[in-house]
Amino acid sequence: MQPSDFHFHLPPELIAQQPLAKRSDSRLLQLAEGAVHDLSFTDLPGLLRAGDLVVLNDTRVIPARLFGRKSTGGQIEVLLERILDERSALVQMRASKSPKPGATLLFERGVTAELLRREGSFYVLQFSELALAVFNEQGHMPLPPYIDRSDTAADAERYQTVFSNEPGAVAAPTAGLHFDAALLDALAKRGIETAQVTLHVGAGTFQPVRQEQIDAGQLHSERVRVDAELCAKVAATRQRGGRVIAVGTTVVRCLETAAAAGELKPFSGETRLFIQAGYSFQVVDAMITNFHLPESSLLMLVCAFAGQANVLAAYDHAVKQGYRFFSYGDAMFLERNE
């Protein structure tokens, strides 16, 4: 398998640059038994059944993009990967000339950071104040690289899910962006239960897949938490004959990591799980997901779930029908390819 096997042509004008005014006004492309159906996201409750369990990712996006300068005067842009402890953080950095360990970086309100060391393409910074507080106070929302504009005040709320609760992500779990209070209420009224897991999405989600990652079967690391309550809800869903519906590839990765030993159990830690062709799914029966980048690990996951030929044909249909792509774009509903 090669990354080029997952290429598709996408006209740039189909990449959504702004969110819709109302979250649930997005379109929904259903892929069922190889056939596609053009729906609206508000049709989702009708695709589910009483007794199903919808699993959401409750991670919350940190305003992870920070602007400052080197003590020598050059401008820098810092993108948080993760908070390491109270004062230190692992970051990516953009500068005309990369600073060296020991360098001092200057931010607003007299906040400084010392560059402690490099870790591959990342840097470890130690801030003069609490690291998370610095990003919350001075940071900008880390809109994906394919959104060709600066973040606005509206993005601070709109690039979060309505059920976000646990700060730690540097990218939104975008399938969840389509849900609003009215849609969640509609699910509950149909006897469809919801539950939550946490996967803190890292910036690696936007990186192209390398052949060596495919060969090794491992991706960038992300933090995951699946608790005992979620495991009990999945067991109860199975007992009553319901399905487990994952909202987003992050939830799929989360649940399948926790079931890696063959049984879903509470899990808290790092995952490098790479779901690709031939993977045997343990937990997820159907999924809701946005449209993904060509040659990305997320597209490979979706293809493993619903069949590569089916998914790529559905993407071709979506392009021809003018669906909106990527983070602020439209969504798909897929059932597992048996």
Q: Where do the structural domains in the chain lie, given as residue ranges?
A: 3-61+153-335, 65-138
Spatial separation of the C-alpha atoms in residues 222 and 239, rounded to whole Å: 31
Pairing of strands 122-127, 112-119: antiparallel
CB 299 within 8 Å of CB 293: yes
What single string gives the DSSP state of each residue in 200-254? E--GGGGSPPPHHHHHHTEEEEEEEEE-HHHHHHHHHHHHTT--EEEESHHHHHH
Tell me: the pLDDT tens digits for 167-195? Answer: 999 999 999 999 999 999 999 999 999 99
Tell me: the pLDDT tens digits for 128-166? Answer: 999 999 999 999 999 999 999 999 999 999 999 999 999
CATH architecture for segment(s) 3-61+153-335: 3-Layer(aba) Sandwich (3.40)
Question: Would the pLDDT of 206 be above 70?
Answer: no
Class of the domain covering 65-138:
mainly beta
Burial per residue of 189-209, b for 16 or more beta-carbon CB atoms within 10 angstroms, e otherwise: eeebbbbbbbbbbbbebbeeb
Structure tokens at 223: 């933090």
Tell me: the pLDDT tens digits for 249-293? Answer: 999 999 999 999 999 999 999 999 999 999 999 999 999 999 999
Radius of gyration of the chain (CA): 20
CB 34 within 8 Å of CB 179: no
Burial per residue of 97-113, b for 16 or more beta-carbon CB atoms within 10 angstroms, e otherwise: eebeeebebebeeebeb
DSSP-assigned letter for residue 191? T
